[in-house]
Amino acid sequence: MTGTHWDRYWIQGGGGCLPDADRAFGPVLETLWRDFGAQLPPGARVLDLATGNGVVLRMLAAGGRRLDLTGIDSAGTLPKPPPGIALRAGVAMEKLPFRDRQFDALTSQFGIEYGDTAAIAREAVRVLKPGGRFRFVVHHADGPIVAHNRARREAIAWARDESGVLPRARQLARARLGARLPTPASFRVAVEDARARFPGQSAAAEFQAAILQTLDMGASRPPAETLEVLAEIERRAGEEIGRLDALAGAAQDEDGVRTIVGQLYAAGLDPDEATIVIDAGVPLAWRLDGTA
């Protein structure tokens, strides 16, 4: 996919590519990247693909090996990285703006599977120095991140498309053109309904609560403003659904990973056998290591 769904995400302060889900997996991923960093010579030049907010590079930097760290991402705007890390926005993994044989290592966490993996493999072999290492961590289709995000998508889509709250909110905003009208209690009840319908999944209730708050604030404001905020809430929900769909599409089962490994070979890389990153007994991700 292109960076479309992510374009505004990172600049809005996206706390990670998987806002709720990935925090729980932090320690496993941290260990995985610390170990990779420890294998690299001090000062090694590392390129992180689909870097987002540069989380992988931050973990590598914490290893203290004074690595030369660059990240690229197709999203149009990225947050400012800490000193010592360079992030380049608007750069596709399939067309890297670097000369041949520039990097000692290539990394990616929940990144390459969002792009054209055959083209990325060709770029990887081009920009890596001979003998350079790569580690790609790829969503596992049966993992908890995918399951969590599927549930989140379902909750947001229900709140936006099926709960009926959005059209009723618009109707109320328009009715306020002619009279000062309070927000009916049903909008408050809708928040509780969403909470009860999706226990352990806050997204639907948050959507309903945002509508309620907009209507409460809109009681003393021009209806056009309320309608604009409602449109923004709907647009953001659509963007998030787009990101969650992209994640579901990017996650790989065994066949998918076999295909990617084949593409790495075909490009001239030397991949190790793919392994599964396990966390608390469940498959979190695939780990693809190898050399150029």
Ligand X SMILES: C[S@@+](CC[C@H](N)C(=O)[O-])C[C@H]1O[C@@H](n2cnc3c(N)ncnc32)[C@H](O)[C@@H]1O
Binding site for ligand X (CB under 6 A): 1, 3, 6, 16-17, 50-52, 55-56, 73-75, 92-94, 109-111, 114-115
- Closest distance of CB 163 from ligand X, Å: 27
β-bridge pairing 68-72 and 85-88? parallel
Which lies closer to ligand X via its Cβ, residue 85 or residue 205? 85
User: Cβ 92 to ligand X, closest distance in Å?
Assistant: 4
Amino acid at 271: P
Classify the C-alpha dihedral 189-202-159-171 as positive or negative. positive
Query: In angstroms, what is the minimal distance from the CB of 230 to ligand X?
Result: 27
Of 51 and 214, which CB lies nearer to ligand X in the complex structure?
51
Q: Which is nearer to ligand X, 89 or 169 (CB)?
A: 89
C-alpha dist (Å) from residue 149 to 36, 61, 92, 131, 138? 28, 29, 25, 37, 15
Tell me whether residue 137 or residue 261 sits nearer to ligand X (CB atom). 137
Min dist CB 30 to ligand X, Å, is 12
- In the complex, the smallest distance separating the C-beta of residue 107 from ligand X, rounded to whole angstroms, is 9
Closest separation in Å from C-beta 52 to ligand X:
3
**Unique residue bearing structure tokens 């969002």:** 114
CB of 96 to ligand X, least distance (A): 9
Specify the residue, 93 or 190, whose C-beta has the smaller distance to ligand X: 93
Task: Tell me the two tokens of residue 136.
Answer: 């790609």
Nearer to ligand X, 36 or 114 (CB): 114
Distance between CA atoms of residues 233 and 172, nearest Å: 16
Nearer to ligand X, 151 or 181 (CB): 151
Q: How far is the CB of 3 from ligand X (least distance, A)?
A: 4
Query: Using CB atoms within 10 A of its CB, is residue 286 exposed (0-12), middle (13-18) or buried (19+)?
Result: buried
For 37-87, the three-class secondary structure string (H helix, E strand, C coil) is: HHCCCCCCEEEEECCCCCHHHHHHHCCCCCCEEEEECCCCCCCCCCCCEEE
Q: State CA 72 to chain mean position distance.
A: 14
Nearer to ligand X, 169 or 244 (CB): 244
Q: Which long-range contacts (CB under 8 A, 24 or more apart) does 90-99 make?
A: 90/3, 92/2, 93/49, 93/50, 93/119, 93/120, 93/123, 94/119, 94/120, 94/123, 95/119, 95/123, 96/47, 96/72, 96/123, 96/126, 96/127, 98/47, 98/127, 99/127
